Amino acid sequence: MATAAVPGPTLQEQQAMAESFMNSCAIRATMGAGLGYVMGYVFPMIMFAFGGMGVGDTTVGVSARTHWKTYKSDFKRQMKGATRSAGGWAMIGFLFGGLELAVEKRRARHDIWNPTVTGFVVGAVQARSAGPLLACGAGTAFAGFSAGMYWLMPH
């Protein structure tokens, strides 16, 4: 006995489901946190790779073992710094990803003011422990950067 195949969702239905999935603040914030963590972890590693690690150092009387120990301790220190950096970038990605979509839904518009307002809030939150004046300054700087990035990206 043959069973009839159950038709799946059409292409338009699949696109609508994907769009509604991506328009969730929680999903967008989680993706921002994940990508921010990766970015915050990779950039310090790249800086370590290009930084002054003593490569080509011709110090007389220093054995190769000492160089290896120095490299190993520097790498461990860099890994700790990369983990701290990754956490900070993950927080920025989480806040920016979630807040931008929340602002866009609240305003019911997609324009340059959404990333600008979001950038101000994220910058101020990141610098909150430095005091209100520096929090406003950081918010203004982050808002300017966000507006600049929005302006440069094609829409």
Statement: residue 106 has pLDDT above 80: yes
Extents of the domains making up the chain: 25-50+63-108, 110-154
Distances in Å between the Cα of 127 and the Cα atoms of 35, 44, 87, 114, 134 are: 21, 21, 15, 20, 7
Long-range contacts of range 91-94, CB-CB < 8 Å, 24 or more positions apart? 91/33, 91/36, 91/126, 92/32, 92/36, 92/122, 92/126, 93/31, 93/32, 93/33, 93/34, 93/35, 93/36, 93/37, 93/39, 94/29, 94/30, 94/32, 94/33, 94/36
pLDDT grade for 113, boundaries at 50, 70 and 90: very high
Average pLDDT over residues 68-85: 84
Tell me, what's the pLDDT at 47? 82
User: Two tokens at 76?
Assistant: 């461990």
